[in-house]
Chains A and B, each alone.
Chain A
Amino acid sequence: MYKIFKQEKMNKINKNLMFIKAILFKSFLSVLTLFVISSCSTNEKQTVVTKTQLVMNEEFDVDGAPKTELWSYNLGTGNNGWGNNELQYYTDASQNIKVEGGMLKITAIKESYMGSGYTSARILTKGKFEQKYGRIEARIKMPWGKGLWPAFWMLGANSDTVIWPQCGEIDIMEYLGSKPTSMFGTVHGSGYSGGNAISKNYTLINDRFDNDFHVFGIEWGENYINYYVDDKLYNQITPKDVPGEWVFNQPFYIILNMAVGGNFPGSPNAETVFPQTMTIDYVRVYQ
């Protein structure tokens, strides 16, 4: 059912093409030509990817709460701030998470709630959409400011029975609001988790992640995970790169969240402006 694009979806995708921007300086005619060409070749824009058969696409087209067929909430503070001393309390309130105007907005608010100093949201596809291998990408505009820690990531579908990190974690995108030009992609497994995880940074030149939307994705197959941002492949991780068992040949589910504070980003400071929103245009999965 997801294979047939509606025309508006095509338009939306076309709008996102990064190179159109660059071309705009050139003559109107050539833009037109390219536009026509590109609208027939949506997926070819990313030479870094090979999986083009769409198997799931969440376009966030219905205003309101994220649709329950696909998403559940993680609520509260977890154990010890979700294991990281994070400062936020996750809610399902519309001020923290809502679909609006074709976008999912996850908003961190500075407010006292249930003993926490901030509220935010975290949703996951656990038990609703789980995938082994494929190309998983999302188009996201980041928040900014010290202490903000949004992520687009995956956990092994067996995470209830196999303790982390043995269940595996694939962080497709993590970002710190205090480093607005950088993001990183990471894998965690037994023997390489937390501070010893296998990770790589990607930094934009003359641009930033909170200025506009960027596409964050992985192309994942047996014994490899390729990381890309927009049309740039910046890393490949294979079993020889990890000092432990390769735990990624099994289904994973998708998580979107924005944490505030914690061991990794540190706390927000006086200059951190709240509220801050992570805006997600879409999540798409290809095979």
Chain B
Amino acid sequence: MYKNIVIKCSIIKFHKIGLCLLSFLFVFGCQTDDENLKDTKNSDTAEVFIDAPAGMGTDFYKPYGPDASNPVGSKFTAWTIDKKEGYNSAIAMRFDVPNSDNPEGNYAGAAFIIDGVGRDLTSYDALTFWAKSSPHGVTNLEFGFGEDFGENKYQVTIKGVSLGTTWAKYIIPMPDASKLVKERGMFRYSANTQGTKGKGFIFWIDELKFEKLGSLAQLRPLISNGEDIEDIKFLGNSFSMADYSLSQTFNMASGVNQKVTAAPSYFSFVSSNTDVATVSDAGIVNIVGIGISKITGSIAGVSAVGSLTVKVPGIFPIASDPILPQSRVISVFSDKYANIPVNFYNGYWQPYQTTEGGLTVISSQNVLNYTKFNFVGTGLKNPIDISEMTHFSVDILMLELPTDIDLLLTFKNESSKPNTFQQNRIGQNYQLDARAPVVFSDTQFQAGVWATIKVPIRPKSDIANLDKTGVSVIIIENIKSSKVKTLYMDNMYFYKE
């Protein structure tokens, strides 16, 4: 029965859930106002699942729905209670991770969220559980807690977890338990088949509970994976410190270090120059002035290794509006034109893509902003016919120019046969690839200035025969791995001359 409810929940946008919860809280609050004040302390129940869900309510299982990076989403029915397997019992939670081509969902993932005000977890220091997998060991799973489908304020995740075929105990340390006075996110998991060549598997979890281990020590918070990094930001920019690899590493009783990804709210951040950048309690950075500010942080009084220095040269240079009339344009991304629908501006193609980012808003303009750029693609919702078009145009901005810019631009119909694409080089063509002629030389780029790149759509060729009736994906690759730290793109459209 919960399945139906679950589906409904996942369709509702998060802010709506938030509203629902708010009203729920309000009602709850009214009831408790008259009660003895001592009762306002939230439940500190430790158990999440022992031989049954413990104090979790009836509707706690919230599978992940489709999103921009995964239009298929997780398999909603992955979780069941198994009455034949268990650690120290014959009952455990069973998770059936689907094959990668399962139409009902190509991975399994969900948050366990309780109703009400949440639990007081301040007397614990970790969430622990026992787990095993079948028919073989599996790698690269994610487990955590603190996800409430709202602010996810105190979310914690351990990544790259391996499970074996025999029961073993797993520990998710709390970055700072004192923050967890009313936590609703009791557990979260995400499991896919990248490590099993697309083949589904089963894993079990039992004895899932919060514990005071007392044996976690040597806490080491990290910002930017412990590195001091610099980034150029613009007046009016707003971003979360969560974009800068926040973590906390613990040494466990076994002597093994365990790193957890920690939400920004665990940190206390300090901006060295609040005339340039301010940081909120939730880790949101607002750029308020020109200059330089170094953002450092700590968790529970322990200084983090690593920092972010923001350099603010001024306002963001907005790309100038295209001048062609809408009638001569099929626009993929532009504030000037009506755009065709897209599935994503970043496909997060695994396992090789490092590029992060996508659509962002700077000075009320929609801009594509990519970081850690190696390659990235925009996926169109419906293949488009560009037979009538003569050119593809895209504006590109780099704030710092590497010396060896060599970008490979590809557009193609994903579902047509191989070798049906058009490729061009932007910058150099170090491989001297005749199939991809240079359309814009690297000397034409200026740091911090938008470049408009116009790519003639080629007639039929023997080498690569573009299917002009069904272009569905546009890919840009940093083919020489040059040090393009940040890439901005705007005004991406096909046009007729």
Contact = CB atoms under 8 A, between A and B. Distances in A.
Contact of B255 (A146, A211, A273): A146
Contacts of B255: 144, 146, 177-180
Interface in B162-210: none
A120 B343 CA distance: 60
B257 A208 contact: no
Contacts of B253: 180-181, 208
Interface stretch (B24-32, B214-222, B392-400, B412-420): B214-222
B214 A271 contact: no
A181 B215 contact: yes
Interface string B97-128: 00000000000000000000000000000000
Interface string A208-221: 10110000000000
Given A144-B218, A210-B218, A271-B257, A180 B213 contact: no
B247 to A, nearest CB: 14
B360 interface: no
Given A179-B255, A180-B253, A180-B255, A206 B215 contact: yes
- Interface residues on chain A, size class: 10 to 19
A177 B251 CA distance: 11
Interface in A133-152: 144-146
Interface string A178-196: 1111000000000000000
Contacts of A273: 218, 220
Interface in A189-240: 204-208, 210-211
A207 B218 contact: no
Contacts of A211: 217
A277 B218 CA distance: 13
Chain B binding surface, main DSSP class: loop
A53 to B, nearest CB: 35
Contact of A206 (B213, B218, B257): B213
Interface in A19-37: none
B212 interface: yes
Contacts, number: 35
Contacts of A205: 214
Nearest to B213: A206
Contacts of A145: 251
Given A144-B218, A208-B217, A180 B212 contact: no
Interface in B216-273: 217-218, 220, 251, 253, 255, 257
B212 A144 contact: no
A179 B215 CA distance: 11
A207 B251 contact: no
A269 to B, nearest CB: 10
A146 B215 CA distance: 16
A180 B257 CA distance: 12
Contacts of A181: 215, 253
B309 to A, nearest CB: 24
Given A181-B253, A271-B257, A206 B217 contact: no
A144 B213 contact: no
A180, A204, A207: residue with the most chain B Cβ atoms closer than 10 Å? A180
A180 B251 contact: yes
Contacts of A210: 217-218, 251
A145 B218 CA distance: 10
A253 B253 CA distance: 33
Nearest to B220: A273
B251 A206 contact: no
A143 B11 CA distance: 51
A234 to B, nearest CB: 18
A194 B330 CA distance: 80
A273 B255 CA distance: 12
Nearest to A146: B255
Interface in A249-283: 271, 273
B215 A207 contact: yes
Nearest to B212: A206
Contacts of B220: 273
Interface string A152-166: 000000000000000
A205 to B, nearest CB: 8
B257 A207 contact: no
A180 B251 CA distance: 9
A208 B125 CA distance: 14
Contacts of B215: 180-181, 204, 206-208
Interface string A61-72: 000000000000
Contacts of A271: 257
Contacts of B217: 144, 180, 208, 210-211
A266 to B, nearest CB: 11
Nearest to B216: A208
B257 to A, nearest CB: 5
Nearest to A176: B255
Nearest to A203: B253
Contacts of A144: 217-218, 251, 255
Nearest to B249: A271
A219 B212 CA distance: 33
A268 B465 CA distance: 57
A145 B254 CA distance: 11
A149 B220 CA distance: 22
A210 B215 CA distance: 10
A85 B126 CA distance: 38
A203 to B, nearest CB: 9
Nearest to A207: B214
Interface string B36-54: 0000000000000000000
Nearest to B255: A178
A279 to B, nearest CB: 14
A36 B308 CA distance: 51
Interface of B: 212-215, 217-218, 220, 251, 253, 255, 257
Interface of A: 144-146, 177-181, 204-208, 210-211, 271, 273
19 contacts: A144-B217, A144-B251, A144-B255, A145-B251, A177-B255, A179-B255, A180-B215, A180-B251, A180-B253, A180-B255, A181-B215, A208-B214, A208-B253, A210-B217, A210-B218, A210-B251, A211-B217, A273-B218, A273-B220
Given A206-B212, A273-B218, 12 more contacts: A144-B255, A145-B251, A177-B255, A178-B255, A180-B251, A180-B255, A181-B253, A210-B217, A210-B218, A210-B251, A271-B257, A273-B220
* Those 6 A-B pairs whose CB atoms lie nearest each other, nearest first: A206-B214, A178-B255, A181-B253, A211-B217, A207-B214, A271-B257
